[in-house]
Amino acid sequence: MAPTERPLVVAANRLPLARAEDGSWTTSPGGLVRALLPTVQETKGSWVGWTGERDGQAEVVHADGIDLYPVPITSDEVDRYYEGFSNGTLWPLYHDAIRESNYRSDEWDSYVDVNQRFAIQIANIAPPHAAVWVHDYHLQLVPGLLRELRNDVRIGWFNHIPFPPLELFQRLPWRSEIIKGLLGADVLGFQRRQGAHNFMSAAQNLLDATELDEGLVHYEGRNVNVGAYPISIDVEDFELQASGRATRQRTAQIRSRLGDPEVILLGVDRLDYTKGIGNRLQAFGELLDQGRLDPERHVLVQVATPTREGVEQYQDERREIEQIVGEINGRHSRLGFPVIHYLYQSLPLDELIPLYRAGDVMLVTPFRDGMNLVAKEYVAAHVDGDGVLVLSEFTGAADELGEALLVNPHDDHALQNTIVRAVEMHRHERRPRMEAMRKRLETSTVSDWAKSFLDVLIDS
């Protein structure tokens, strides 16, 4: 079968769907959807995933010329498979075990059940010889389960988050089952080479898989390609939106609303304990305390998007961050001029892009992050060629954006000094750094990412 004829079936925990006001469904916008939708449409493929609703529907949805197949998930499974095993066990473990993981067999059982349901749904709807692209840590058993049901399809899996080193991964009581599940794929993709390397080492040590060649592993009579495919954004779209008149006007308005400070520092993250929001705020507060930053000249805007609000660790993290914001504002704000503008809300994209443009210094300081698209979005939005990016060395983005000011977010002093350096950087240094990052980004967009993965999936 010619590669272009293979229908593409995408499977991810969440369907790219949002409810319109009248209750009907529309596809939700986003880089991944824009990158994959054309191929799914052209090959008459489909999308499989959860609607995000407890005890939600199972009927197929037709939107944007494709079929989207919901996998129903019960309320109990949302607690155990999603909030429990995926977000309470795997998420912290895969991010350097930065929080204690729960290891509960009832949650694991639910994870197995939901993975089985996904595999059955894909097996039922995938056309003959389809290419099936499974996404993320929620669905690590799907490749193996699907392989048992349908041997004619090609199976790829991409991990959006880091894959941990063996020393951490082996804490997981079901470590061998997960590696076996993943080895059912033809191609396994990771954000960074380190993730691919960590997986290889787990496969060799836990299941006696053998590495034939760099990036090629042999297990139970089959070969599996393992490699790094760093994800990106729709650069052109960001640039286009960032250069529009409406964005320019809103950017100027934002600056003036903030009291026309000399430097606007910016953070944009899901409110997640991996993102290092607290450390960043503490560093900013410390610099104000020391007089190295001045509340009349320097203002920080922190957008913290609500996420996983049902998980206790996220409720704790929110309380902690809001306390820090309150303390710093209490010490350093003036009437009508808070020094930290904190938004616990999800902003529309046409507000986010002007904010990126208004940000003179962008603070991206996660303790660990698969890629971090915010860093790339900030660079793409700076069509003015200006702006400074402070970037944690523990993000995938740091591999590509070497002209950012790279920092270890665990090191308080380094973080403080880097923030001061960013704030004081002369435009003769700022502009060439930004230009180099923008050039590199233009040659590696989300479509390039999708194409490079699918080329290997279809041809290997």
172, 178 Cβ separation under 8 angstroms: yes
Question: 186 an active-site residue?
Answer: no
Q: Of 150 and 308, which has the nearer Cβ to ligand GDG?
A: 308
Question: 160 an active-site residue?
Answer: yes
Q: How far is the CB of 244 from ligand GDG (least distance, A)?
A: 16
DSSP sequence for 27-61: EPP-HHHHHHHHHHHHTT-EEEEE-S-TT---S-E
Site string for ligand GDG, 271-310 (x = CB under 6 A): --------------------------------x-x-----
Residue indicated by tokens 């063996």: 166
Which one of 160, 332, 341, 382 is the catalytic residue? 160
Site string for ligand GDG, 244-273 (x = CB under 6 A): ------------------------x-x---
Cα dihedral sign, 378-382-387-393: positive
Q: Which tokens sit at 245?
A: 């008149």
235, 442 Cβ separation under 8 angstroms: yes
Judged by CB under 6 A, the stretch of 10-18, 99-107, 372-380, 386-394 that binds ligand GDG is 372-380
Strands 131-135 and 187-190: unpaired
Residue 379 interacts with ligand GDG (CB under 6 A): yes or no: no
Chain mean position to CA 40: 22
Q: Of 145 and 182, which has the nearer Cβ to ligand GDG?
A: 182
Among 70, 276, 370, 387, binds ligand GDG (CB under 6 A): 370
Residue 73 interacts with ligand GDG (CB under 6 A): yes or no: no
Exposed/middle/buried for residue 208 (C-beta within 10 Å: 0-12, 13-18, 19+): exposed
Q: How far is the CB of 450 from ligand GDG (least distance, A)?
A: 12
Number of chain residues interacting with ligand GDG (CB under 6 A): 19
For 74, the 3-state DSSP assignment is coil
Residue 377 interacts with ligand GDG (CB under 6 A): yes or no: yes
Residue 231 interacts with ligand GDG (CB under 6 A): yes or no: yes
Residue 160 interacts with ligand GDG (CB under 6 A): yes or no: yes
Fill in the amino acid letter for 260: D
CA 53/CA 235 separation, integer angstroms: 31
For 310, the 3-state DSSP assignment is coil
Q: Catalogue the active-site residues.
A: 160, 369
Tell me which residues touch ligand GDG (CB under 6 A): 160-161, 231, 268, 270, 303, 305, 346-349, 352, 369-374, 377
